[in-house]
């Protein structure tokens, strides 16, 4: 993308009303614009990150055997009356009345709707196991939206729902999601720690939150330091195999959010391994058995001909929240430092003198070569002064910068800068491309 | 995708409450499930088509230089009060009050919101031309939702908004969208005819609807038969060039919807070229100048230092409606006949005897080979009887079927069937793959 044709409204001012660094940086880099309390437009730069995160989550859900569909944002009140949550949910649920005076709502979560889809079609144990997921905008009417997209009202979430015949099978489905989540967060450059957590309004008695550590995290978390060094299960994991060891490897260590924290258990960890920190929740998985299937009469026939309520779990990832969460974990004093997998562009190409024909020609050729190599490139072809170009590239945090200037052209090299390490090197363009592609 | 692991709830029954063929077929093939009046869940098969259409539209918008962002579904009432449309829009607008008693609405369209984004950042003519688009769910509280996704209440639309300094430049932006639309519909296998149309609640005095002909179309349309044979501008079109000839080539012919129909003008066409038919609107483009920028004070500074309201247009494509529209145009007595570009899977692989080890092995190998060739494959590995498998494949309308049976294995061939022509041939798998890839 040529910057002269792009829409990148970067600002030098630190917004006064943004309390945390990710919110400040998202406003300064023109990633989002607030349209109302907790409601945002994703400007082009921010939208690209949102899409990349959504796609990583999609790929890891698919790899784990989940099947994608898409439920609507607006739901009928009747389903929530069936499950008993219509009154329970309180003021966080955005309630709507249509022109025919029907009661509706903007879905804050989808357990009821997916249970209704399931019971409409699935009648036999033979169709199980089944895991259906979607990535859709949701609305929770938070009383005090804050921290930008981290606690907005309209937010993008991936939510998956598993259906199994037995509790044992349901736990196997839970384990698949547990591992898929670790892989997904790992691909985003995050260390997400699964922690015992409260189940809140979703319900059930088995639940893990996936937490990334950050000083600005909204809750206190406690874990064994050993958990920070455990590698993700890996993309070659066989999701048809028994994954209980893979899960136990992690749950054997102590890790809990404030609500589930047990000081005595925590005290048993060697002192040097006791991590007491702040954390940001980026995912949450639940096993809740028949909490919805029973009242909503979602039953399947067993091999014996009996009808039993289906065993269910649900699995959420906060896609829009992750954009803020990743910035909290990945920034420095000059701006954002994107992990390459979720960066809006993988490389920023800077032409030092776009009005100098020789420089413009080489820069144009470099732009074509980078794109031909399958890389997402933001090409700064503006005639602003170099200092302002470098500052902007640092601020928006693309992992690599390639600078084309008259001196380099003479020597047949470009300057390649790694945003994270700050390391600069002069090398031929083809070698720079290889380095960027290697990540 | 292996069918034994997929969620494809196909039904033999013709739904009684579905009035048109696309609605019937979408319900029978398990593409959508209705969750309320005009509100649908997109089941896995339907969701894949929706995604493919969205992606084609995205690619053609990008090619024409438009920039993608994403606006929220919920908007503040204040913006619509500024433009004057809050009261005008009537009961089709879904109005919402939040917990703090603030007036909000579920966006039926986004002229106000994008104008607000624009005026917040763009102050100078130097940033123009600019075309911003998104694909987002919208809601119109239709009094009688019907025809399935063709006239739903919650629907997916791509809407683009152009900003220019002068009316002349705005017309150039309009022309780009005009051509991009023809290319996008062409890629979907549709002949979409641009017709003079009413501007309705969007406003302005220049507008074209893009219409596909179908007996079940909701409006009467009239055009010169010559328009049906005009090729699309083509993907190699230079969008930086003057496109007025490209547009004039089409607008020189008579084509109008009922509201704009002029019987006298129509009568001047030679009788054998007079087409009077029913049509489905799949896109609509508008030039409305300063209708929103003036009341909302979206101005830019000219080279002379004057401040003038920006010239705007808007450009919609009904992404979810297109799914129904394509089925109306592409079906036969056995079911859907997908154009390959939007088919949920490009090829259906049928194993005739999944319990016969030799057949299963060859079918598994074929599945791997098709996927390795980059094709989307639905692999029917169920042990149902062949007749039921063939009927299902015909019903869901994948463009190609490959059948693996014991006789073919002996001869080293598979059976390849083209869904549209019905043509069958026996050939080695590698040749079948080449044929499918060639489309």
Q: Which of B44, B91, B127 is the closest to A69 by Cβ?
A: B44
- Is-contact A188 A53, C-beta < 8 A? yes
Whole-angstrom CA distances from B121 to A10, A30, A181, B73, B77 are 9, 9, 38, 21, 21
Torsion sign, CA atoms B101, B107, B113, B115: negative
SS3 (DSSP) at A414: strand
- Tell whether A147 is covered by a domain: yes
On whether residue A401 sits in a domain, the answer given is: yes
**Same structural domain for residues A32 and A170?**
yes
Contact B153 A74 (CB under 8 A): yes
**Cβ–Cβ under 8 Å, residues B105 and B77:** yes
What's the pLDDT band for A20 if we cut at 50, 70, 90?
Answer: very high
B43·A117 Cβ contact <8 A: yes
- Which residues of chain B make contact with A47, given a CB cutoff of 8 A? 68-70, 134
In this predicted structure, the answer to whether residue A188 has a pLDDT above a threshold of 80 is yes
**DSSP strand pairing (A67-68 vs A130-139):** parallel
Query: Given an 8 Å threshold on Cβ–Cβ distance, is B40 in contact with A72?
Result: yes
Instruction: Give domain status of residue A19, yes or no.
Output: yes
Q: How far is B374 from chain A (nearest CA, A)?
A: 16
Q: How many residues does chain B have?
A: 439
Of the candidates B279, B307, B336, which is a domain's last residue? Answer: B336
Contacts of B148 in chain A (CB under 8 A): none
**Average pLDDT, stretch A225-253?**
95
- Which of the residues B72, B135, B152, B383 would you substitute to probe the A interface, choosing the one with the greatest number of A C-beta atoms within 10 Å? B72
CA–CA distances in Å: residue A376 to residues A340, A344, A437: 11, 8, 11
A390 has pLDDT over 90: yes
Of the candidates A142, A159, A286, the residue with the CA atom closest to the CA atom of residue A218: A142
Residue A179 pLDDT class (50, 70, 90 cuts): very high
Do residue A113 and residue B39 have CB atoms under 8 angstroms apart?
no
Do the Cβ atoms of A69 and B120 come within 8 Å? no
Examine the domain organization and report whether A163 and A199 are in the same domain: yes
pLDDT digits (tens, 9 = 90+) for A122-133: 999 999 999 999
CB pair distance less than 8 Å for B33 and A70: no
Residues B291 and B358 in one domain: no
Phi/psi at A90 (nearest 5 deg)?
70, -155
Burial of residue A59, with CB atoms counted within 10 A of its CB: 0-12 exposed, 13-18 middle, 19 or more buried: middle
Tell whether B111 and B188 lie within a shared domain: yes
Which segments of chain B have a pLDDT < 50? Answer: none
Q: What are phi and psi of A436, to 5 degrees?
A: -65, -40
B69/B211 same-domain check: yes
Which of B289, B306, B336 is the C-terminal boundary of a domain?
B336
Distance from CA of A138 to the nearest CA of B (A): 10
One domain, residues A308 and A390? no
CA nearest B63 in A: which residue? A1
Question: Which CATH number characterizes residue B252's domain?
Answer: 3.30.930.10
Together in a domain, B24 and B143: yes
Looking at the structure, do residues B322 and B414 belong to the same domain, yes or no? no
Is A99–B35 a contact, with Cβ atoms under 8 angstroms apart? no
Residue A27 phi, psi dihedral angles, 5° rounding: -75, -45
Determine, for residues B74 and A117 on separate chains, whether the beta-carbon distance falls below 8 Å.
Answer: no
Does B104 sit within 8 Å of A73, measured CB to CB?
Answer: no
Tally the residues of chain A. 439
| B240 in the same domain as B99 | yes
Give A85-114 pLDDT, tens digit per residue: 999 889 999 999 999 999 999 999 999 999
What average pLDDT does range A283-287 have in this prediction? 96
Give CA–CA dist A179/A61, Å, rounded: 10
User: CA A357: distance to chain centroid?
Assistant: 43
d(CA A337, CA A418): 10
Classify the complex by whether its ipTM is higher than 0.90, answering yes or no: yes
Yes or no: say if A398 and A378 are a contact pair by the CB < 8 Å rule.
yes
Question: Of the candidates A387, A379, A421, which has an alpha carbon nearest to the alpha carbon of residue A404?
Answer: A379
Looking at the complex, report in whole angstroms how far the Cα of residue A130 sits from the nearest Cα belonging to chain B. 8
Q: Are B9 and A121 within 8 A, CB to CB? A: yes
Question: Is residue B341 in a domain?
Answer: no
Q: What is the CA angle B175-B177-B180, rounded to 5?
A: 110
Pick from B336, B363, B386: which residue ends a domain? B336
List, for residues A25-48, the tens digit of each pLDDT value.
Answer: 999 999 999 999 999 999 999 999
Q: How far apart are CA A140 and CA A150, in angstroms?
A: 13
Whether residue B342 lies inside any domain: the answer is: no
The DSSP code sequence of A254-266 is -EEEGGG--HHHH
* Residue A342 falls inside a structural domain: no
Closest C-alpha to A140, from A66, A202, A49: A202
Exposed / middle / buried, residue B118 (Cβ in 10 Å: 0-12, 13-18, 19+): buried
Please judge whether A71 and B35 are an interchain contact, meaning their C-beta atoms are less than 8 angstroms apart.
Answer: yes
Considering only CA atoms, which of B57, B49, B289 is closest in space to residue B180?
A: B57
Q: What is the mean pLDDT of residues A374-382?
A: 97
Using a CB-CB distance cutoff of 8 angstroms, which residues of chain B are in contact with residue A132? 7, 44
Whether A86 and A76 have beta carbons less than 8 Å apart is answered as no
Do the Cβ atoms of A69 and B141 come within 8 Å? no
Instruction: Report the residue from A41, A67, A106 with minimal CB separation from B117.
Output: A41
Mean pLDDT of chain A: 96
Which of A70, A78, A119 would best serve as a mutation to test chain B binding (most B beta carbons within 10 A)? A70
Question: How many Å apart are CA B127 and CA A419, to the nearest integer?
Answer: 28
Structure confidence at residue A15 (pLDDT): 84
Contacts of A114 (CB under 8 A, 6+ apart): A71, A132, A161
For residue B98, which residues of chain A lie inside 8 Å, CB to CB? 94, 141
Domain contains B363? yes
Q: Scanning every residue of chain A, which has its alpha carbon at the shortest distance from the alpha carbon of B48?
A: A69
> Shortest Cα distance from B92 to chain A (angstroms)?
8
User: How near does any CA of chain B get to the CA of A94, in Å?
Assistant: 7
Tell me the C-alpha distance between B320 and B38, whole Å: 12
* A137 contacts on B by Cβ (under 8 Å): 72-73, 137
* Predicted pLDDT of residue A255: 95
Report the C-alpha gap between B117 and A35 in whole angstroms: 9
Rounded to an integer, the average pLDDT of A191-215 is 86
Please state the domain count of chain B.
2
CB pair distance less than 8 Å for A69 and B143 = no
Q: Which residues pair with B222 in a beta bridge?
A: B256, B276
B158 and B268 together in one domain: yes
Please, which pLDDT band fits residue A224 given cuts at 50, 70 and 90? Answer: very high
- Verify whether the Cβ–Cβ distance B121 to A75 is below 8 Å: no
Question: Of the candidates A39, A72, A122, which has its C-beta nearest B41's C-beta?
Answer: A72
Out of B7, B70, B98, whose CB is closest to A132? Answer: B7
Residue-wise pLDDT tens digits, A319-341: 999 999 999 999 999 999 999 99
Which chain A positions have a beta carbon within 8 Å of B43's beta carbon? 69, 117
The reply to whether residue B71 touches residue A141, judged by beta carbons under 8 angstroms, is no
Local confidence band at A14 (pLDDT 50, 70, 90 cut-offs)? confident
The runs of H, that is alpha helices, within B64-124 are 77-83, 85-88, 111-121
pLDDT of the residue at A289: 95
Distance from CA of B6 to the nearest CA of A (A): 7
**Distance to chain B for A328, nearest Cα, Å:** 22
To which H or E segment does residue A371 belong?
Answer: helix A357-372
With beta carbons under 8 A apart, name residues in chain A contacting B141.
Answer: 98-99
Helix %, strand %, coil % of chain B (to 5): 35, 30, 35
- A427-430 LR contacts (CB < 8 Å, sep 24+): A429/A366, A429/A369, A429/A402, A430/A369
A70/B41 touch (CB, cutoff 8 Å), yes or no: yes
Residue B266: per-residue pLDDT: 96
Q: Which of A44, A94, A100 sits opposite B67 (nearest CB)?
A: A44
Indicate if B365 and B320 belong to the same structural domain: no
How far is the alpha carbon of B438 from chain A, nearest alpha carbon, in Å? Answer: 23
Q: Any idea what the CATH number is for the domain that residue B373 is in? A: 3.40.50.800
Structural domain containing residue A123: 3-336
**A376-398 per-residue burial string, b: 16 or more CB within 10 A, e: under 16:** bbbbbbbeeeeeebbebbbbbbb
Q: How far apart are CA B222 and CA B261, in angstroms?
A: 7
Q: What is the pLDDT of residues A391-421, one digit of tens each?
A: 999 999 999 999 999 999 999 999 999 999 9
A154 with B73: Cβ contact below 8 A: yes
* A68 to B132: CB separation less than 8 angstroms, yes or no: no
B132-166 burial code (b ≥16 CB/10 A, e <16): bbbbbbbbbbbeebbbbbbbbbbbbbbbbbbbbbe
- Same domain for A130 and A268, yes or no, is yes
Q: Is residue A341 part of a domain?
A: no
Output the CA–CA distances (angstroms, integers) from residue B130 to A116, A220, B118, in the order listed.
Answer: 44, 45, 9
Contact A143 B36 (CB under 8 A): no
Number of helices (H), then strands (E), belonging to chain B: the values are 13, 23
Residues of A in contact with B153 (CB under 8 A): 74
């Amino acid at each position: 993308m040529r910057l002269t044709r792009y829409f990148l409204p970067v600002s030098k001012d630190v917004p006064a009303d943004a309390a945390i660094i990710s919110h400040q940086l998202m406003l300064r880099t023109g990633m989002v614009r607030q349209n109302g309390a907790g409601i945002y437009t994703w400007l082009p730069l921010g939208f690209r990150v949102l899409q990349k995160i959504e796609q990583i989550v999609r790929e890891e859900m698919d790899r784990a055997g989940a099947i994608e569909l898409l439920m609507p944002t607006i739901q009928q009140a009747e389903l929530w009356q069936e499950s008993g949550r219509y009154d329970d949910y309180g003021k966080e649920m955005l309630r709507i009345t249509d022109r025919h005076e029907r009661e509706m709502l903007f879905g804050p979560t989808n357990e009821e709707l997916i249970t209704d889809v399931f019971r409409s079609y699935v009648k036999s144990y033979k169709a199980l196991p089944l895991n259906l997921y979607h990535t859709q905008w949701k609305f929770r009417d938070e009383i005090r939206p804050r921290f930008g997209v981290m606690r907005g009202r309209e937010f993008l979430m991936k939510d998956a729902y598993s259906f199994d015949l037995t509790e044992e099978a349901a736990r196997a489905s839970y384990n698949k999601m547990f591992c898929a989540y670790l892989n997904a967060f790992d691909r985003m450059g995050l260390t997400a720690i699964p922690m015992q957590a409260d189940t809140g309004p979703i319900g059930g008695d088995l639940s893990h939150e996936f937490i990334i550590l950050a000083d600005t995290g909204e809750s206190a978390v406690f874990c064994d330091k050993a958990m920070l060094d455990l590698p993700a299960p890996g993309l070659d994991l066989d999701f048809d195999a028994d994954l209980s060891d893979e899960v136990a490897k992690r749950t054997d260590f102590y890790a809990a959010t404030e609500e589930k924290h047990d000081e005595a258990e925590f005290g048993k960890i060697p002192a040097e391994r006791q991590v007491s920190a702040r954390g940001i929740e980026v995912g949450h998985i639940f096993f809740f058995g028949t909490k919805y299937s029973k009242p909503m009469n979602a039953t399947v026939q067993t091999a014996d001909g009996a009808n039993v309520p289906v065993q269910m779990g649900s699995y959420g990832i906060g896609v829009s929240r992750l954009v803020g969460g990743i910035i909290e974990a990945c920034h420095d004093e000059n701006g954002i430092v994107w992990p390459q997998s979720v960066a809006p562009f993988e490389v920023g190409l800077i032409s030092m003198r776009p009005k100098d024909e020789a420089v413009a020609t080489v820069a144009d050729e470099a732009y074509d070569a980078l794109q031909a190599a399958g890389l997402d490139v933001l090409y700064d072809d503006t005639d602003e002064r170099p200092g302002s170009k470098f500052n902007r590239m640092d601020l928006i945090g693309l992992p690599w910068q390639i600078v084309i200037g008259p001196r380099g052209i003479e020597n047949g090299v470009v300057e390649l800068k790694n945003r994270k390490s700050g390391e600069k090197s002069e090398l031929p363009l083809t070698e720079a491309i290889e380095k960027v592609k290697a990540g």
